[in-house]
Each structure stands twice: as C-alpha cells, then as structure tokens.
Amino acid sequence: MPGRRISAVERYGKFMLLRLGQPDRTESSLSSAGGAANVDSVAGSLLVHLGMTGHIAAFPAAKPHEKHTHVCFLLDDGRELRYTDARRFGRMAYLEGTALEKELQEFGADPLVVSREEFVAQVRGHRARIKALLLDQGVLRGVGNIYADESLWRARIHPARLGAQLTTKQARTLHRVLRDILEKAIVLRGSSISDFLDAEGEPGEYQRHHRAYGREGKRCYRCGTLIRRAIVAGRSSYFCPRCQPAPRGFAMLPLPRRGKARKA
DNA sequence: CTCGATCCCTGGACGC
DNA sequence: TGCGTCCAGGGATCGA
C-alpha cells in the first residue's frame, strides 16, 4: 500500500481500525493538509483482530523480526509496523466503501455507548444463555470471556441463565457493571493472563482486579464460597455458586483435586 | 434461533 | 532431562 497514510486509529469492538488515506499525489503529503481535507472519507481501512496472541507495533526496520511475524508495513519514517501472532487466531483485512460498511454492520452495539434501554432489550430479547449473549459479537461488540465472567460475577447472575429470563433490574445492573469493568480495564490497559502485552509492550494491570475469571477453587470475594468452573457457551466460565445461583439442572465441573494451578 | 462439535494454532503445564 | 499429551481461547462453520 505504497503512499497510503494512516489517518486515524480507532477501536471497533475487538477490532482495530486503521483508517488509510488515499495515495499521495505529490511528494509532500504534509503540505497538502490545508487543501484536500476530505480524501479520507472515501478511503478504506485496515481491520485488525488480534485474536488471542496478536500484537501490532512499530519497530526500527533494522531490528530482527520476532518469531511469528506475519505482516510488515514499511513506514515512511524508516520504521516497520509489524504484526506478530503465535497462534494465528488473529485476522487482518483491507476493506473500503460498502464492503467496509457491510462488515461493520454485522456487529452489535458497543456496551460503552449503548443506552440502558437498548442493552436491556438486547439481553432480554434473546433466549440464549446470558454468557453466550455477552460473547456474541453480533449482539454486543467487544466483550470477551474475561469481562463476561467478571461482569456476571458483579451482577450476581449465573452464566447459564437465559437472557430472556433475566429481570429488567438484573439486566440494568449487568449493563452498569459491565461498563464500569470495561472502563476500568481500558484505563489499566487490559488483563495480562499469560502473554498479553499492549502496543507499548507493557502488560496490563486489570488481572489484579479479577473476581471470578481464573479463580477456580479460590474463595469468592463476597461470600467466601469456592469459585467454580463450568463450560458455558463452549467456554470456561468462572462463577460463585452461591452469589450466582444456577438455573435448575445445571451441572458444573467437579473441583480439581490438586490439579494444575489455574492462574488467579 | 440456538446449540454443541470441530477445526484452526502454539506454548505452557502436566505426567511419566 | 526429555518427550508425549492435553488444553486454552475467538471465531468460522456445519449439522442437529
């Protein structure tokens, strides 16, 4: 993409959106700032999803590539924007125009922006389990396994409860605590469970605030009951069996005897 | 519409 | 010490 300029970097759910300006016609791109003001509006975007282990950052071009480097963009200041991803769960796509719009339309509301009424309507309007709804990017965008579990613990809602089964009050509480958690996690630059590092190469701090996720066998911060784990919506789900009463017939996994120490 | 199963992929944890 | 096995996780896909 020679000549393209990154005009803005935005977040869209779990995606990073690199807005790319049109190729420069002249040598000097900076001097045209006063003239062509709106070329970016028709330009495309690079959509980047980091998956689990993706990482994107700029390095001096002379620096040797890290292992699992899959994509490099040479920048005009001599650095290289590099994408590394050990597990290759991440994805990258360049889209523009209606294709870009269409792609972005597939996703649900941003929980940090959506109104309380709309959040409640979404949650109560589906029969799926609340955990599945929180993870479904088409219902709400941006929430992953950690923040789903953390918000459900705070709201005292069992992950296997059906969305449509929640009371309005419960759904409102979930909206509030989810926003609080996401805002705080963003300030603390995320949760570094194993190897996550932010774009500056620094680990996040929010894992210190986890109340449920990864705490199987440890005591609930509210009531002291041992946190349990179950597979809900195909994902490990951590919850307090006392604070978050299960729907009838729900089976959780037996506590591991001495099993592997799961990360706190 | 919702579910579970399967696949992708690697590093780390675990068992022997 | 070293090797094999299992597993986590976001998401696409498919059949039920």
Q: What pLDDT score does A203 carry?
A: 67
Residue found under tokens 């597979």: A231
- What SS3 state is found at A77? coil
Residue A192 has what pLDDT? 63
**pLDDT of amino acid A196:** 62
Residues 135-194 of A with CB under 7 A from strand B: 194
The closest of A220, A223, A227, A233 to A256, measured between CA atoms, is: A227
Domains of chain A and CATH, by start: 6-105 (3.20.190.10), 116-210+232-237 (1.10.8.50)
Please identify residues in chain A, positions 21-50, with a C-beta within 7 angstroms of any atom of strand B: none
CB A36 within 8 A of CB A25: no
The DSSP code for A82 is: E
Q: What are phi and psi of A63, to 5 degrees?
A: -65, 135
Question: Which of strand C's nucleotides are less than 7 A from any protein C-beta?
Answer: 8-12
Cα dist from A259 to A75, A120, A147, A231, whole Å = 48, 39, 25, 17
- Evaluate if the CB of A261 falls below 7 Å from strand B: yes
- For residue A58, what are the β-bridge partners? A81
How does DSSP assign A43-68, residue by residue? --EEEEE-TTTEEEEEEETTSPPPTT
In this complex, the answer to whether residue A157 has its CB under 7 A from any atom of chain C, a nucleic strand, is: no
Q: Is the CB of A134 under 7 A from strand B?
A: no
Question: Which residue's C-alpha is at the least distance from the C1' of C9?
Answer: A52
Helix (H) or strand (E) holding A116: helix A116-124
Asked whether the whole model's pTM tops 0.85, one would answer yes
Task: Determine whether the distance from the CB of A249 to the nearest atom of strand B is below 7 Å.
Answer: no
In this complex, the answer to whether residue A52 has its CB under 7 A from any atom of chain C, a nucleic strand, is yes
264 residues of chain A, pLDDT tens digit each: 888 999 999 999 999 999 998 776 654 445 444 444 444 455 799 999 998 889 999 999 999 998 899 999 999 999 999 999 988 899 999 999 999 998 999 999 999 999 999 999 999 999 999 999 999 999 999 999 999 999 999 999 999 999 999 999 999 999 999 999 999 988 877 766 666 666 666 667 677 788 989 889 999 999 999 999 999 998 999 999 999 999 987 877 777 754 334 333
Q: DSSP letter at A165?
A: G
**Does any strand B atom come closer than 7 Å to the Cβ of A104?**
no
In 3D space, the residue among A219, A222, A223 whose CA is nearest the CA of residue A255 turns out to be: A219
